[in-house]
Amino acid sequence: MVRPWPGPPPDPETARRGGPRLSGVQRERPSSMKLSALAHLLDGQVHGDGDLDFERPAHPDHAGAGDLAVAMQPELVERLAGSAARVGLVATGAQVPDGVLDAWVSVGRPRYALHHLTTAFAQAPSLAPGLHPTAVVDPSAEIGEDVALGAFVVVGAGARLGRGCRIQSHVSIGAGARLGADCLLYPGVRIGERVVVGDRAILHANVCLGADGFSFVTPEPGTVESAKASGKVAGENQALVRIHSLGAVVVGDDVEIGANTCIDRGTLADTRIGAGTKIDNLVMIGHNVEVGRSCLLCGQVGIAGSAVIGNGVVLAGGVGVADHARIGDFAVIGARSGVSGHVPPKSVWLGYPAVPKEQMVETYMLTRRLKTLFKDVAELKKRGRACPSPT
């Protein structure tokens, strides 16, 4: 039923062996692990027989008899009684009821332990080494050592791919684009012309780097300009013309970008994403934006043109940032807030328009008491009639 592909089909064995060099991720996950080894890996403590082993970590509800029930929160510890697992992983100080597990490991910092645990058991995406025979690579492109290109990948003129890059199927890499070493690109990623990506970047499916910025102008001032200037709509938008994007997108080392996220190129300068920043799915980053290092931009965040985001900033899900806004280092913006203007470093802001969190919470609590306030004032007005008029 499967047609022979002209040229040898990829060898399934090598396909299984291949895989990106995700930091610390093995090509094959271990078939089992002892609790003593787990405790060593996670810097934890064994309770009971450390020679007991397990096949894979699992949620207590879904764990089988050979699995490790991972129960880092108290509500999950309670579910251990209903779990088929005989060994578990809990937070230090967790009260594991008698008899629900034969042995367990406890760890002091559960989320960080999850990093080590899942790294040990993650499986690298399968991708045959070398260039798939269907890949279309411009002769002037430079392909580094040990690069794997999947089926139907297109690499444009003058593009450069660093050593060890793993490019899955259907990816397009535009002319003059550059990828650093050991990048992992999932299917359908679009890298625009002249876009630059650092080392070890992970780009999930259908990411678009380097669409043109959304920047248009009318020969005479249009409705937006008049609305911003006067609060009134004076002109009428007609014959919108483009301000072209001469810049590119520059993404630092160790950046991860979620599925279907878009980062537009800059107008005169490049749009920039700092090293170590992690971006979730369906995020929109406009032209000229600068995002600092080690930021977390959660799902559906939108950042309008020319905004500047500092280092270590966290934008929770759905946050919007207005054009030219500035967010200071290590600030945290609560979910679905709308930021304009300047947010100071290390502050926690919330709401639309976003304000310091404690201020937003206070306003919200007062708003919830409005009904009582209206009643009080109505009562005062009734009583007031008995008072003499101030005239």
| Least distance to a second copy, CB of residue 330, Å | 5
Nearer to a second copy, 100 or 360 (CB): 360
Q: Can residue 82 be called a binding residue for a second copy (CB under 8 A)? A: no
Write down the residue that tokens 């070398």 correspond to. Answer: 130
Residues in the chain: 391
Segment contacting a second copy by CB under 8 A, of 34-42, 44-52, 96-104, 109-117:
109-117
Closest CA to 256 of 228, 286, 296, 227: 296
249 contacts 227 by C-beta, under 8 angstroms: no
Strand arrangement, sheet containing 178-179: 142-143, 160-161, 178-179, 196-197, 249-251, 271-273, 290-291, 308-309, 326-327, 342-343
Which tokens hold the place of 105? Answer: 């490991």
Q: Contacting a second copy (CB under 8 A), which of 134, 146, 163, 253? A: 134
Q: Contacting a second copy (CB under 8 A), which of 53, 64, 223, 253? A: 223
Q: Can residue 363 be called a binding residue for a second copy (CB under 8 A)? A: yes
Nearer to a second copy, 53 or 256 (CB): 256
| Least distance to a second copy, CB of residue 91, Å | 14
Residues in 200-219 at the binding interface with a second copy, rule: CB under 8 A: 202, 204-206, 208, 211-212, 214-219
Nearer to a second copy, 51 or 62 (CB): 62
Of 59, 62, 287, 342, the catalytic one is 287
Segment contacting a second copy by CB under 8 A, of 34-42, 43-51, 79-87, 268-276:
268-276
Q: Contacting a second copy (CB under 8 A), which of 43, 49, 112, 341? A: 112
Q: What are phi and psi of 312, to 5 degrees?
A: 65, 20
Closest CA to 38 of 26, 56, 61, 20: 56
Q: What is the CA radius of gyration of the chain?
A: 28
| Least distance to a second copy, CB of residue 84, Å | 14
Nearer to a second copy, 99 or 231 (CB): 231
Q: What are phi and psi of 372, to 5 degrees?
A: -60, -40
Q: Can residue 93 be called a binding residue for a second copy (CB under 8 A)? A: no
Q: Can residue 126 be called a binding residue for a second copy (CB under 8 A)? A: yes
Q: Can residue 162 be called a binding residue for a second copy (CB under 8 A)? A: no
Burial of 196 (0-12, 13-18, 19+ CB in 10 A): buried
357 contacts 349 by C-beta, under 8 angstroms: yes
Residues in 364-383 at the binding interface with a second copy, rule: CB under 8 A: 364, 366-371, 373-374, 376-377, 380-383
Nearer to a second copy, 51 or 136 (CB): 136
Show the 3-state SS of 334-382: CCCCEECCEECCCCEEECCCCEEHHHHHHHHHHHHCHHHHHHHHHHHHH
Q: CA 291, 297, 176, 164 torsion: positive or negative?
A: positive
Q: Which helix (H) or strand (E) holds 99?
A: none
DSSP assignment, residue 299?
A: T
Give the contact letters, 20-49, x = binds to a second copy (CB under 8 A), - = no.
--x--x------------------------
157 contacts 137 by C-beta, under 8 angstroms: no
Segment contacting a second copy by CB under 8 A, of 37-45, 46-54, 90-98, 240-248:
240-248
Q: Contacting a second copy (CB under 8 A), which of 27, 78, 152, 253? A: 152
Residues in 57-76 at the binding interface with a second copy, rule: CB under 8 A: 57-59, 61-62, 70
Nearer to a second copy, 51 or 227 (CB): 227
Say whether 170 is catalytic. Answer: no
| Least distance to a second copy, CB of residue 338, Å | 5
Residues in 301-360 at the binding interface with a second copy, rule: CB under 8 A: 302, 304, 312, 314, 317-318, 320, 322, 329-332, 335-336, 338, 346-348, 352-353, 357-358
The β-bridge partners of 284 are: 262, 302
**Binding footprint of a second copy, residue count (CB under 8 A):** 163
CA distance 339 to 332: 11
| Least distance to a second copy, CB of residue 197, Å | 15
DSSP assignment, residue 131?
A: B
Catalytic residue set: 287
